Amino acid sequence: MKIFLDTGNLKEIEAMVPLGIVDGVTTNPSLMAKESGDPRAIIKSICDLVQGPVSAEVVATDWEGMVSEGRELASIDPHVVVKVPFTRDGVRATKVLAGEGTRVNVTLIFSAPQALIAAKVGAAYVSPFVGRLDDISVDGMGLVQQIVEIFEAFSFATEVLVASVRGPMHIVEAARMGADVCTCPVSVVEACFKHPLTDIGLAKFLKDWEKAQASRT
Ligand code: E4P
């Protein structure tokens, strides 16, 4: 399963890329609004750093505006994936952009029929928002399971990109379900590195090693 970072912050991405675990990045208007500087330049810098799919979202709400903005975003770098919200206009824009060879990530997916429709019009990715569903007592990962089953049944090439991830267990469940991608805030990736038994085990290894060295001198 691929791991994307869910951030528009260059420092966060710079710190994570050398670990070799970042396959791509997703942004959205809320994340980009937190960053200072020209959004176009930030997206370009992210593409240069990651050399993998980088989702940049349109803010137009009519299909013609989405297509025009999508073309502009796609011209920034070949790694850009145009992110479009799941609306009637978003579906129409996805059909046009995908027909031109632009990869589209259909976002704000909260039901299986939405994912099916997005796949039918050629979305490269669908983004089910698991955390936001969990927040309202709906099983977010249950939705991912449904989408994975539907896409497998009809051999859709559309990738299931698990979004709105809140913790490492979302990553585990996404991987077990066979989702293609999990996009994670940096805090969630950091949490995967923490395990008390790893810390205790390493401390013991080093202490035993030091003791053995001291007894030899
Ligand atoms: C990613 O594509 C989404 O925009 C993001 O995961 C949303 O996450 P949130 O629900 O934590 O805002």
pLDDT tens figures, 145-156: 999 999 999 999
The tens digit of pLDDT for each residue in 38-84 reads 999 999 999 999 999 999 999 999 999 999 999 999 999 999 999 99
- Angle formed by the axes of helices 88-99 and 112-120, nearest 10°: 30
202 C-alpha to ligand 1 centroid (Å):
35
- Looking at the CA of residue 26, tell me the nearest atom of ligand 1: 2
Q: What is the whole-number distance in angstroms between the Cα of residue 27 and the centre of ligand 1?
A: 8
d(CA 197, CA 206): 14
| Amino acid letter for position 20 | G
CA of 171 to the centre of ligand 1 (A): 14
**Band of residue 107 on the pLDDT scale cut at 50, 70, 90:** very high
Ligand 1 pocket check for 92: Cβ under 6 Å: no
Convert the pLDDT of each residue in 135-174 to its tens digit. 999 999 999 999 999 999 999 999 999 999 999 999 999 9
The structural domains of the chain, ordered by start, are: 2-215 (3.20.20.70)
Residue 68 pLDDT: 98
Whose alpha carbon is nearest atom 11 of ligand 1? 164
Catalytic pick among 2, 34, 83, 120: 83
Question: How far is the C-alpha of 90 from the C-alpha of 26, rounded, in Å?
Answer: 18
Q: Are 124 and 103 in contact (CB under 8 A)?
A: yes
Q: Is 83 a catalytic residue?
A: yes
